[in-house]
Structure formats: C-alpha cells, structure tokens
Amino acid sequence: HKYVYDFAEGNKDLKDLLGGKGANLAEMTNLGLPVPPGFTITTEACKAYLATGSEPTGLAEQIAAHLEALEREMGRRLGDPQDPLLVSVRSGAKFSMPGMMETVLNVGLNDRSVVGLSAQAGGNDRFAWDSYRRLIQMFGKTVCDVPGEEFEHALDDVKRAKGTTNDLDLDADDLRGLVDAYKKIFSKHTGREFPQEPREQLDLAIRAVFESWNAERAVIYRRQERIPADLGTAVNVVAMVFGNLGADSGTGVAFTRDPASGAQGIYGDYLANAQGEDVVAGIRNTVPLQELERIDKKSYDELLDYMARLEGHYKDLCDIEFTIERGKLWMLQTRVGKRTAAAAFVIAGQLVDEGLIDLDEALHRVNGAQLAQLMFPRFKLDHEFQPVAKGIGASPGAAVGKVVFTSARAVELAAEGESVILVRRETNPDDLNGMIAAKGILTSRGGKTSHAAVVARGMGKTCVSGADELDINIPQRKFTVAGQTVTEGDVVSIDGTTGKVYLGEVPVMPSEVVQYFEGTLDPEQAGDALVQAVHRIMTHADARRRLAVRTNADTGADAARARRFGAQGIGLCRTEHMFLGDRRELVERLILAGTDAEREDALAALLPLQREDFIEIFREMDGLPVTVRLIDPPLHEFLPPLEQLAVNVAVAQERGEDVAKEEALLAAVRRMHEENPMLGLRGVRLGLVIPGLFAMQVRAIAEAAVAVTRSGGSACPEIMVPLVGAVQELETVRAEAEKIIAEVVGDSGVEVLIGTMIEVPRAALTAGQIAEAAQFFSFGTNDLTQMGWGFSRDDVEGAFFWRYLELGIFGISPFESIDREGVGRLVRIAAEEGRAARPGLKLGVCGEHGGDPESVHFFHEVGLDYVSCSPFRVPVARLEAGRAAI
C-alpha cells in the first residue's frame, strides 16, 4: 500500500488522499514554482493510525525511503551535526481548517546540529538558537502537550530582563539561555529530556499531526463547518527554508484579490526576519505586501508573476504563503482562498468578464448562505455616531452587543440570549467557542490574515481586527480608547466592512443587496460591483432553475414584499393568524356556541373579515397562485391558558362579580384540554368535527376570488387541507367544499383547486390513494419531520439536540435541513406514487425547509414543482434552485 507521495507525484485533484495543502504543493511543484522539496503522507495512513493507535505496516519504511531521497536531493542529512537538513511537519486535511491542527517547524535540530546550522548560515548563531528554541516550543506544545504559556512566560522573562518587548532585540546568548529554560520546561512536564534523535523527532511529530485531527478545537470547527469527521489529515514533510536569517529574509501571505471585497489588486502582509507562524499569529505588526516592492523588488516581482500564474491556473482567488530566504523566494502553500460573501459574488462576476469561467461556473461558486449574509442589515450612521477607533474590516457585517473579554463569558452570556462582542488582543484556536457564541469579534492586533479574521470570515461573523488604539486589559475586563474606558457589559457597535468601532448601539438599515431586491436600487446605475454581480448571477439562476419559488405569507404586505423579492405565488397562507387580535372574541363565540344558531352566527360574523383578508392577498398576488391552508391549530390555542383563566374566575367570584361568561369559557377550556395537542384535534379533524368552520373559510376564499376577478384582477386560489392522513378525510371535506365553490363561482371564470398537505407519515405512504382526491400536494415538512422522527418540535431542540449533534447522530437538526434518508424518503415515495396515480400532479413544499439551501437541492432532485419559504429567503431559494439545476 502506498502511503507516501513525493510532491512530484501528486496534483491538485488528489485532495482526498494528500489533503489540500499536499495536493496544492504538488501542483505548484509540477507548475515549476519554487517549492522546497518534500513529501506527503496520505490521509489513509492517518485514518489507519487513528483506527488502530499505531502506524500501519510499511509506513515507517516508506517514510525512510522518501526521507533518503529528500536528503539526496538536498545534499544534507536530517539533523546532521555539521550541515543539517531541517524539515517542517505540517498537517493538511482535505478541507482547510486554518490553525486547527498542528505544524512543527525546524525538526532535526538538536544540541549538536544547532552548531552546524549556525555554520551553514555563515556563523549566524542568533538565527540557529532562535530556530532551536522555536522547535522546542512547538514540539513541546504540539507533540507533548506542554502548556504553551510556560514557553511564552519564559520568553517574556528574557525580554523583560533585557528591557525590551521586541523579540528581535534578543541576541544569540539570550536565545541560547532560552533554549536551556525551554528544555527545563519540557522535561518538567514530560518527565524526559528533549529528544535529540532527529528521526525520533520526525516520527513523534508525524504522530502528533495525525492525532491533531481529533483535537477538541478541530472537532468543534468541523462540526461548525460541517466537515465530515472521518476524513483524517495528511502530513507534509517539507525541507525548511528560513525567513528568520536577517533583514534580507522574511515571510508573508498574499491574496490574488481582496478576500473581503473581491477588488483586484495586491493584498497581503509581510514580516521581515520572521518565521512562518509569526504572521498568522499577529505577534508583531506586519507591513502591507506592497512594501515588499521597496524591500526586495526582485522577490516582489517574482511573487506577482507567480500570483498571476496561479490565478490563471486555478481560475479563482488564490491565497499564498511564501518565505524569502536571503533574497530567494519560496512558495510554501497555496489554495483557492476563503472569501467573504460579497467577494464571492464580485469575484465570480469578474472571472466571467475575464473569460476565465462561464456563468454556470459563476453560479456554482456562490451559494445561498452567502446571499443570506449579504442581506444582513448595515449601520445607519449620522453625526451622532463618531467612531472611537478604526481597525481592519476583516469580515463584514454590522454587529452590536455587550463587550466580553473571554470566550467563556461569551458563551455564558450568549446562552442567556445576549448579543455579545468578543474583545481580545488577538484570538487563537482556544477562543473558538467564544467566537461561535459572539455576534462579532474585535481585536487590537493582527491583519486580514490573523486568526480572528480568517476564522470569522469562515463563520460569516462580523470581525474588526487590529484596532490598535484599543488598550485592552483582559484580567481587568476592560479596554480604554480615546480617553474612555469600556468595561464588560458595555455596548459597542462594530462595522466589519469599514473596520470602525463605535461606543453604544448604532441603529441599522437594509443592506444594498436588500435595497436591490426591494427595487429601490437599480443595478445598472448603482455603480456598485456587488449589486451588479448579484443581479447578474440571480438573473442566470432564474434562467436556469426548474423549481418555482413561492412564499409563505399571511398578509398583503408580506405578499407584496415577497413578490418584489421574486416570489411566484404563495405556497402557504396560514389562516389562523386571521383569527387573532380583536377577532379572538368571535372565535370564542364560535367555540362556546351552545346551539347551531349561535355557531352559525359566529361564523357569519367571521366570514366577511376572512373575505377581506383574502381579497387583499389575491390583489397583491394578482395572476399568481395562492395556496390557502384551512385552519390548522387546535382551537384552544385561541383561548386563554387554563391556569390564568381559573385564577381570574376565582378572583372575580371572590369579589362577587358576575362570572357566568368566564365560567363557560373555563369549562370549554377544560373540555378541550389535550395531553398531546400536536397529535390531537387539529387540521382536517377540526374541520370534520366543527360544522360549518371549513365551509365558512372555503366560502370566504371563493367569494374573495370572484370579487377580485370581477374587478378586473385575476385570482388563482388553491385550497389546502391540512393534516390529512387518509383519503376519506379529504374526500369528505372536498365534497362539501365543491358544492360551495360551484355555488359561489358560478360563471365568473374563477377556478379553485383543492389539494392537501402531506405532513402525516400515513399520507405519504398512501399518497397514491390520496392523489385520487387531491389536485395538488404540498409537503409540510415541519410536521412530517416532527411525526416522522417523533420529535416534538417545540421541545426537543433545546432539550437534547446538542447531544445528538455532539454524538454525530445527525450533523444538523432535521428541522433545519431535511433528513434525506428518512423524512426525505417519505417525500420521494409520496411524489412518485402521487404522480403515478395522477400524472402531472402539482407538487410543492412549504415549511422551513423550503428556504434551506441543502433542502432546496433535494426538492429539485425529487422533482417537485416549487418550494415555498419566508419572504426573506425567497432570493436564497431562487439562487439555490438555479444551482441545483446546473
């Protein structure tokens, strides 16, 4: 079994096996870019190791063979005392997980080879001891779990003794002393000496990288990003090149376009005389990449050339890690770079203009989650709000919340329902939980490529980084800025687009993209690259998609907004909302009716009100179908709660008031009490039990449709019967409804369809029979999930879903994204058997899943005609329906 690949043997399409980093190192090698030689140990070796706890047979020999070849190529032996080869041992999974797993640099250094390294560097002792102390630090922390702070403290001690805060001020002697201190820390924590044998260092580091796949923060990150837990990581062993050799050396990161806005140009950070991690960690402040032109023009020009080549090759934004060793440029990593939602749209549009990709590919490269992000509100600024600081707009959005200074506190307050802004000097992987819990992240150090920035962008969280006017004191839980002190719990507002920080709560307004959808911003005139790109890609999605997109709306206003957002009708108009407010009293009368006459009276009073509601909605949806669901919830939901009513009655009686009416109400509430109301008297059952209720609603719908049509409009009502489980239920309702419709509609030309929701599992399983009586199906996937899993939607999410997610029983709540195998299977069966019984049967879905990107793809595959979702999700569903079709 082949577990080890030389860089020359791989390519960018082998990410499953070589991980993203390894596959792209191979690709760059084969493109002829200057990549230090090395090899990749496959994810399969990692999986085998994790499964058994030991290296698979043959791995050690293959590593030895590739190491030998590397040594031959470099003309140096690993850890050789005179002239050592050093290597880095780098994690690299299929999907990028920035900073989540481990990397160890300078492997091969020991007490003897450190001298050889100095000689190799022309007698540069400082460099050699700096490299050695870094190895002990990284190795100790990563491989042997030595607490990282101990090393940091020792480093701080040395700096303090020297009277400096800059690590560049430390000389060779200081660093040699630090190596001694580090070794003591190492043996104190591990009970052994720092390993001097180079091959042992290498093997232990490889093992540690394998194991870092299951590090807690990596597990959390994967869950958040929905990366499968069983992929494993590859390990890259790469010959070291040194950015810490002096002022003519350095290290940096570069993007081929701005990952925040998508704008073309040169973006990145550079740090002279530094090694790898220093840039990302934000330890010292970096300089903008443009300055490299002044520092080292030859390397700069070369880098720009490679950047252009990589972009042309990958046909996408690339991000790059590079190191300059004494004026020689080395490429250490590239990948198709993460970007903000706005940049994703802008870049896709630009690449189409540049002829690198077509519109289908552009559509493929953006997604509904990104579009949803672009619909977040923005700050509405006036003279009242002056920023107190300006950092780097690292991840866009407008976030307002209470300041917290620790991850733990962020999690605590968020659990209480507070919006919080996590404020840190810089973040590191231990802050991940706090970042997930926070509305926004604010740091005083680090650029666009700092940990905070990269992780926040990945999560779609607002982030301002490097706001260095902030003087942050974590232990005292406060920061000072512009002469003011902000303590935990104070409210701040941060703008992740401009990088500005405001004290207090800044009001928010709709984003440009929402203004575009609303029709108040003309894309042709906007002069705004983002709005133009969104317009273009949405237009293409609309041209491509087969699924229609409708909306869930109960009012004329919602219907009108959804229509502007592109809704092609209403898929779910809930009538129960029309029974609330001051109509409650009429509903009470209906419920309390002792005689037929009383009940008919109450219904007659409700009829004109319902009719008016429908007229308004039909007008707004002129010419488009409107699916109206007959009343669904149990009637007691319209009555006051039992306990409250009982207390009121008792109190009134005490006072000697007349309580006849309240007592009747109380009796009705008692009578109607159910142990499991969701499985009780609701939906079609209600219609069959309460005479005249559905009839009144059907009449109101038909009369409204006739009224709208007679006044020159066009109403297309579809009456939907909820909670049907057996065709007989539907037949009974339908027989009565058809009589009323025939009577009301007459020769007006109005056509009213009658169909049903498929939301009870039995309905899905007998869909062939039900289709005989239904002119359309609409899948109510909320109830179908509830009844399919036996999960009470109102109870289980808070109670135990976290545990299910933790255990991996499912990766995402089945109420959020449809469970394809189970509930989805019911949908599939019903769609197939329904259409077999009634060819051309119209099929749609209403319920939260209609606006969920993953679920939209599923509904496309199953062959539904439309999805229906809340007005704000309509653009998302349009986009995803387009993506599903390409």
Which residue ranges make up the site for ligand ADP (CB under 6 A)? 36, 88, 90, 99, 103, 105, 238-241, 276-277, 321, 323, 332-333
C-alpha span between 62 and 706 (Å, rounded): 80
782 is in an annotated binding site: yes
**At its nearest, how many Å lie between ligand ADP and the CB of residue 255?**
14
C-beta of 241 vs 787, nearer to ligand ADP: 241
Radius of gyration, CA atoms only, the chain: 33
Q: Please check whether residue 492 is in contact with residue 403, taking contact to mean a CB–CB distance below 8 angstroms.
A: yes
- Residue 241 touches which member of Mg ion, ligand ADP, none, C-beta under 5-8 Å by kind: ligand ADP
Largest CA distance in the chain: 106
Q: Please check whether residue 764 is in contact with residue 783, taking contact to mean a CB–CB distance below 8 angstroms.
A: no
C-beta of 87 vs 533, nearer to Mg ion: 87
C-beta of 333 vs 493, nearer to ligand ADP: 333
Q: Please check whether residue 39 is in contact with residue 59, taking contact to mean a CB–CB distance below 8 angstroms.
A: no
**At its nearest, how many Å lie between Mg ion and the CB of residue 528?**
33
- Residue 780 touches which member of ligand ADP, Mg ion, none, C-beta under 5-8 Å by kind: Mg ion
Of 66, 846, 849, 857, which one is the catalytic site residue?
846
**Which residue's beta carbon is nearest to the bound ligand ADP?**
276
CA geometry: angle at 566 spanning 560 and 567, to 5°? Answer: 65
- Residue 103 touches which member of ligand ADP, Mg ion, none, C-beta under 5-8 Å by kind: ligand ADP
**278 near Mg ion, rule: CB under 5 A:** no
**333 near Mg ion, rule: CB under 5 A:** yes
C-beta of 103 vs 697, nearer to ligand ADP: 103
**At its nearest, how many Å lie between ligand ADP and the CB of residue 239?**
6
**780 near Mg ion, rule: CB under 5 A:** yes
C-alpha span between 599 and 581 (Å, rounded): 20
406 is in an annotated binding site: no
- Residue 783 touches which member of ligand ADP, Mg ion, none, C-beta under 5-8 Å by kind: Mg ion
H or E stretch covering 473:
strand 471-473
**At its nearest, how many Å lie between ligand ADP and the CB of residue 100?**
8
The yes-or-no answer on residue 869 being catalytic is no
29 is in an annotated binding site: no
CB-based contacts of 556-564 (< 8 A; 24+ apart in sequence): 556/616, 556/617, 556/619, 556/620, 558/871, 559/617, 559/620, 559/621, 560/620, 561/518, 561/871, 562/871, 562/874, 563/620, 563/621, 563/624, 564/517, 564/518, 564/519
C-alpha span between 865 and 867 (Å, rounded): 7
The yes-or-no answer on residue 849 being catalytic is no
Strands, DSSP E only, in 611-697? 625-629
SS (H, E, C) 401-440: EEEECCHHHHHHHHHCCCCEEEEECCCCHHHHHHHHHCCE
- For Mg ion (CB under 5 A), the number of binding residues is 5
Per-residue tokens: 317: 């934004």
- Residue 27 touches which member of ligand ADP, Mg ion, none, C-beta under 5-8 Å by kind: none
**783 near Mg ion, rule: CB under 5 A:** yes
Q: Please check whether residue 687 is in contact with residue 721, taking contact to mean a CB–CB distance below 8 angstroms.
A: yes
- Residue 662 touches which member of Mg ion, ligand ADP, none, C-beta under 5-8 Å by kind: none
**At its nearest, how many Å lie between ligand ADP and the CB of residue 275?**
6
C-alpha span between 370 and 395 (Å, rounded): 12
Of 451, 636, 857, 860, which one is the catalytic site residue?
451
DSSP assignment of 793-808: HHHHIIIIIHHHHHTT
Give the interface segment with Mg ion, choosing from 49-57, 64-72, 330-338, 598-606 (CB under 5 A): 330-338
781 is in an annotated binding site: yes
Per-residue tokens: 172: 């060779």
Return the closest-CA partner of residue 499 out of 440, 583, 419, 582.
Answer: 440
C-beta of 589 vs 793, nearer to Mg ion: 793
**Which residue's beta carbon is nearest to the bound Mg ion?**
783
Per-residue tokens: 869: 């979702």
**At its nearest, how many Å lie between ligand ADP and the CB of residue 290?**
20
C-beta of 95 vs 385, nearer to ligand ADP: 95
Non-local CB neighbours of 74 within 8 Å, separated by 6+ positions: 37, 85, 239
Please list the alpha-helical segments (H only) found in 191-251. Answer: 198-212, 216-225
- Residue 759 touches which member of ligand ADP, Mg ion, none, C-beta under 5-8 Å by kind: Mg ion
C-beta of 80 vs 613, nearer to ligand ADP: 80
Q: Of residues 759-778, which lie at the interface with Mg ion (CB under 5 A)?
A: 759
C-beta of 233 vs 511, nearer to ligand ADP: 233
Binding footprint of Mg ion on the chain (CB under 5 A): 321, 333, 759, 780, 783
Pick out the residues of the known binding site for substrate.
574, 629, 759, 780-783
Pick out the residues of the known binding site for Mg(2+).
759, 783
Pick out the residues of the known binding site.
574, 629, 759, 780-783
Active site residues: 451, 846
